[in-house]
Amino acid sequence: DQQVKQNSPSLSVQEGRISILNCDYTNSMFDYFLWYKKYPAEGPTFLISISSIKDKNEDGRFTVFLNKSAKHLSLHIVPSQPGDSAVYFCAASGVSGGSNYKLTFGKGTLLTVNP
Amino acid sequence: GAGVSQSPSNKVTEKGKDVELRCDPISGHTALYWYRQSLGQGLEFLIYFQGNSAPDKSGLPSDRFSAERTGGSVSTLTIQRTQQEDSAVYLCASGVLSYNEQFFGPGTRLTVL
């Protein structure tokens, strides 16, 4: 049973446009969420995170939105650049649940930004 | 080095053989994690080390898997009697605080023939 779901395996956008990557979760104990970016043959790199006490966190071109009632979060990249082309993983952990170090990952979404 | 390093980068082995995968975390990081990513899947938690505390081994898929962390630094993941379903990319990560950002190594791609 997948607790973190990224239902879109791939997404293609034009350079300069907005990229929206979606993630849904089922475990109500999750209260900390992260996005990682992964290039081929490299390990994932941390991008941005959000705590459940917030509904938005912004860092430059990247913004994460959290809708707790819908158990849904999204990553917005604007404007998208060709260098953003990578696999994006959504991850979640349950800080209040005691196992705050276990990250549960989605399967990832391959983003392609076309010049 | 500046980041997490893993060796080997690629390992091809025959079914039934034992393999050892190594992880060198970032100096000073007390938390160390092992994950694996099978084809088409997300990252699956395997084991977690934090300082001198007993490791959380709850993610290890079978007793053929074991891991050690010597001196609070280098870690070795051992898979005994490898099976074809063990084929995956094995990723190591380290961190300072237990739930903050985890820094990943490049991974070891294991192929069991």
Q: Please enumerate residues of A whose Cβ is less than 8 A from a Cβ of B.
A: 2, 4, 6, 32, 34, 36, 41-46, 49, 89, 91, 93, 95, 99-108
Tokens of A31: 């209260």
For the segment A94-107, what is each residue's pLDDT rounded down to a tens digit?
Answer: 865 555 677 889 99
Query: Is the separation of the CB atoms in B12 and B62 below 8 Å?
Result: no
Give buried/exposed letters for B60-95 (b at 16+ CB in 10 A, else e): beeeebebebeeebebebebeebeeebbbbbbbbbb
Residue of chain A nearest B98, judged by CA positions: A101
The residue type of B81 is R
Instruction: Render each residue's pLDDT in chain B as its tens digit; 113 residues.
Output: 579 999 999 999 999 999 999 999 999 888 999 999 998 888 899 999 988 888 999 899 999 999 999 887 899 999 999 999 999 999 999 988 655 678 999 999 999 99
Which residues does B88 contact at the CB level (< 8 Å), separation at least 6? Answer: B36, B37, B38, B39, B109, B110
For the segment A41-94, what is each residue's pLDDT rounded down to a tens digit?
Answer: 889 999 999 999 999 999 999 999 999 999 999 999 999 999 999 999 999 988
- pLDDT score of B113: 95
| Percentage of chain A lying above the pLDDT 90 cut | 80
Any A CB within 8 A of B91 CB: yes
Q: Do A46 and B103 touch (CB under 8 A)?
A: yes
Give the count of Cβ contacts less than 8 A between chain A and B: 58
For the segment B86-103, what is each residue's pLDDT rounded down to a tens digit?
Answer: 999 999 999 886 556 789
Q: Chain A contacts of B43, Cβ < 8 Å? A: 44, 89, 91, 103, 105
Going by C-alpha positions, the residue among A29, A9, A18, A13 that lies closest to residue A90 is A9
